[in-house]
C-alpha cells in the first residue's frame, strides 16, 4: 500500500526541480513494486524505477541495499525519503554509506547560490533551523508528511526495472513473524471529527477524568500528546502525533496544555480549525492555531463547564 507521503515526496522534488535541474525519478522497492508503478507516474516525474526485492513485509536491510544500488546508478543530487518509521529505518544508513549530507524531518527545501538548503525544527519546535551541506554532491533528506502537496493526474514517465545487487545483505535480513494488535481502547482518533486533546498542562493523572467528562459534554473525542500517553495517564490509542494517530477526519481540534512539538503537529496541524490554550505565549502550537488563548487550562475548563 502506498502512503500519502509517497506523492508528497514528488511534490517536494518538483518544488526544487527547476532550480536544481535534471530529472525527477521515483524509486519503488518491494516485492510488488511493479503494481505501484502506474500510481507513481505523476505529472512532473521523468522516470519510475522499479526494484522487485524483499517480501510482503518491510525489511530495512533489503530496502537500504536496493536504494543504494539505484542511487549509485542514477547519481542524483538530492534523495527524498518519507519521515516515517520505515523511512527513518533506512535514510541515515543510506547517507552514511554514500557519504552524503543528511537532514531529517525536513519541511522546507531550497537552493541558494547553488547550495542546497533544508529547513527543519529544533528545540522542540521552538525555532526553525536552516542546514546547508558544503562539499556534499549528494544530500539525503527525510521529508515531513502533510507538508508538500502531491501532484494530481497522470504523467508521462518512463517506467523501467532497476538492476540491483542484494548479495551484500544475503543472510543478514530480519524475518517478520507476526503482528500483535494493541488492546482495544474504544476510541478511534483517526475517525473523530471533533477532538479535545490534553497535554502536560493538565499537570496530573488525577485531572484526566475532568477533561474526559468535559470532552463528553462537548461531544468531542478525548485525545492527548505523547507525554500523557507515555506516563500511562491515557491509553496509547488516544495519542495524536507521529508515534500516535493522525486526526485524519478531524474538523475541530482543541489543544489544552500542549506545547506543539513537531511530533504532535504531525498528527493535527492539517486540521481546518485549531484552538490552542496554553500559559506560554511562545508555545509553537500558536503558530498553527486558528484561535489561541494564553490562559490556564483549568480556567478554560471552568468556563466551558459553565457554558455546557
Q: DSSP strand E in 219-286: where?
A: 221-224, 252-256, 273-277
Could you tell me how many residues make up the chain?
A: 308
∠ CA 267-272-273, rounded to 5°: 95
* DSSP string of 27-50, one letter each residue: EEEETTGGGGTGGG--TT--EEEE
The answer to whether 238 is a known ligand-binding residue is: no
Residues forming a β-bridge with 141: 80, 103
The answer to whether 47 is a known ligand-binding residue is: no
The answer to whether 243 is a known ligand-binding residue is: yes
The answer to whether 264 is a known ligand-binding residue is: yes
Q: 3-state DSSP call for residue 91?
A: helix
The answer to whether 75 is a known ligand-binding residue is: no
Closest by CA position to 154, among listed 25, 44, 6, 295? 44
**Distance from C-alpha of 225 to C-alpha of 199, rounded to nearest angstrom:** 5
Strand pairing of 25-30 and 101-106?
unpaired
Which cell is 270 given? 492539517
The answer to whether 225 is a known ligand-binding residue is: yes
Strand pairing of 291-293 and 273-277?
parallel
The answer to whether 62 is a known ligand-binding residue is: no
Cα radius of gyration (the chain): 22
The answer to whether 258 is a known ligand-binding residue is: yes
**Distance from C-alpha of 120 to C-alpha of 71, rounded to nearest angstrom:** 24
Q: Which contacts of 267-274 are long-range, i.e. CB under 8 A and separated by 24 or more positions? A: 267/189, 267/240, 267/241, 267/242, 268/195, 268/197, 268/240, 268/241, 269/146, 270/146, 271/247
The answer to whether 259 is a known ligand-binding residue is: yes
Which cell is 282 given? 511562545
The answer to whether 261 is a known ligand-binding residue is: yes
The answer to whether 278 is a known ligand-binding residue is: yes
Which cell is 31 given? 516485492
Give every CB contact of residue 124 below 8 A, 6+ residues apart in sequence. 259, 261, 262, 284
Binding residue numbers for FAD = 200, 225-226, 239-243, 257-264, 278
Known binding site: residues?
200, 225-226, 239-243, 257-264, 278
Amino acid at each position: 500500500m502506498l502512503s500519502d507521503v509517497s506523492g508528497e515526496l514528488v511534490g517536494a522534488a518538483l518544488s526544487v526541480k527547476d532550480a536544481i535541474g535534471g530529472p525527477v525519478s521515483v524509486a519503488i522497492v518491494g516485492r510488488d513494486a511493479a503494481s505501484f508503478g502506474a500510481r507513481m507516474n505523476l505529472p512532473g516525474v521523468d522516470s519510475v524505477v522499479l526494484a522487485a526485492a524483499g517480501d510482503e513485509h518491510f525489511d530495512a536491510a533489503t530496502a537500504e541495499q536496493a536504494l543504494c544500488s539505484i542511487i549509485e546508478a542514477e547519481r542524483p543530487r538530492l534523495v527524498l525519503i518519507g519521515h516515517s518509521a520505515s523511512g527513518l529505518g533506512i535514510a541515515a544508513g543510506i547517507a552514511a554509506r554514500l557519504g552524503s549530507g543528511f537532514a531529517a524531518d525536513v519541511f522546507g527545501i531550497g537552493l541558494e547560490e547553488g547550495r542546497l538548503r533544508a529547513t527543519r525544527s529544533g528545540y522542540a519546535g521552538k525555532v526553525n533551523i536552516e542546514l546547508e551541506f558544503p562539499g556534499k554532491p549528494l544530500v539525503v533528506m527525510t521529508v515531513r508528511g502533510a507538508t508538500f502537496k502531491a501532484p494530481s493526474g497522470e504523467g508521462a514517465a518512463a517506467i523501467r526495472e532497476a538492476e540491483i545487487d542484494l548479495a551484500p545483505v544475503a543472510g543478514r535480513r530480519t524475518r517478520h513473524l507476526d503482528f500483535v494488535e494493541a488492546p482495544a481502547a474504544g476510541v478511534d482518533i483517526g475517525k473523530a471529527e471533533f477532538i479535545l486533546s490534553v497535554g502536560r498542562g493538565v499537570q496530573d493523572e488525577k485531572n484526566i477524568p475532568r477533561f474526559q467528562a468535559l470532552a463528553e459534554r462537548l461531544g468531542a473525542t478525548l485525545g492527548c500528546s505523547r507525554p500523557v500517553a507515555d506516563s500511562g495517564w491515557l491509553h496509547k490509542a488516544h495519542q495524536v502525533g507521529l508515534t500516535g494517530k493522525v486526526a485524519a477526519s478531524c474538523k475541530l481540534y482543541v489543544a489544552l496544555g500542549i506545547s506543539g512539538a513537531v511530533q504532535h503537529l504531525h498528527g493535527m496541524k492539517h486540521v481546518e480549525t485549531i484552538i490552542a490554550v496554553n500559559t506560554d505565549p511562545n508555545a509553537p502550537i500558536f503558530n498553527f492555531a486558528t484561535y489561541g488563548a494564553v490562559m490556564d487550562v483549568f480556567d478554560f475548563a471552568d468556563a466551558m463547564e459553565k457554558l455546557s
